Amino acid sequence: MNPEVAAIMSYFYKLFPCKVYTKEVPESFVIPSMYFPPPFAFNSNDTLSTFMKTYSLSVQLFHKDSQQANNEAERIADIVNSKRGLIPLVDQTGVPTGEYVRINRIETRIADSGVAIIQVTWDSRYFYEKEDYASFENFEVDGEVKS
């Protein structure tokens, strides 16, 4: 799992403790609950040594009715915004690493009866692979200085 998705999942769970689904949602799912599908991403150039991936994650929040689902989704979005969009990254045991993912955009909407969507967007930068070259160690230059 993408470490940023794991951090977002952990953060949302702390704000709204409920059943979390990461695979497909079963027909008899628990209410309230959240579903975290895999994010979609697109690439772009960034710097001479990095490329950027922009991720978009559509978290589904299930509740007793659409209003309650939307209220919880908006509450989560407001808390993320009040923290300047910074969500702490966590290691595999859930302990904060001291690093953060910065959320570019977070929006909410009602999707269906009892379902709200929290759309989360962020950028990640990755280094290009560098080719290995043999380094020069000792070399001599024979030449003359023109007068």
Tokens of 77: 């979005």
Of residues 8, 146, 12, 30, the one with CA closest to residue 88: 8
Give the C-alpha distances (Å, rounded to integers) separating 26 from 20, 45, 68, 143.
12, 39, 21, 78
| Residue 123 banded pLDDT, cuts 50, 70, 90 | very high
Is residue 137 situated within a structural domain? no
Is residue 86 situated within a structural domain? yes
Between 93 and 9, name the one with better pLDDT. Answer: 9
Q: What is the CATH number of the domain that holds 104?
A: 3.30.2000.10
Helices marked H in 16-134:
66-82
Tokens of 74: 């908006």
Asked whether residue 93 carries a pLDDT value surpassing 90, the answer given is no
Tell me, rounded to whole angstroms, the distance of Cα 2 from its chain centroid.
7
Asked whether residue 132 carries a pLDDT value surpassing 80, the answer given is no
- The pLDDT score that the predictor gives to residue 134 is 73
Is residue 74 situated within a structural domain? yes
Tokens of 27: 């027909």
Q: What is the value of pTM for the model shown?
A: 0.83
| Domain that residue 8 falls in | 3-127
Asked whether residue 121 carries a pLDDT value surpassing 80, the answer given is yes
pLDDT in tens, 2-50: 899 999 999 999 999 999 999 989 889 999 999 999 999 999 888 888 8
Tokens of 52: 């950027």
CB count within 10 Å of CB 72 equals: 22
Is residue 121 situated within a structural domain? yes
Is residue 14 situated within a structural domain? yes
Cα separation, 35 vs 87, in Å, equals 18
Is residue 109 situated within a structural domain? yes
Is residue 45 situated within a structural domain? yes
Number of domains in the chain: 1
Is residue 23 situated within a structural domain? yes
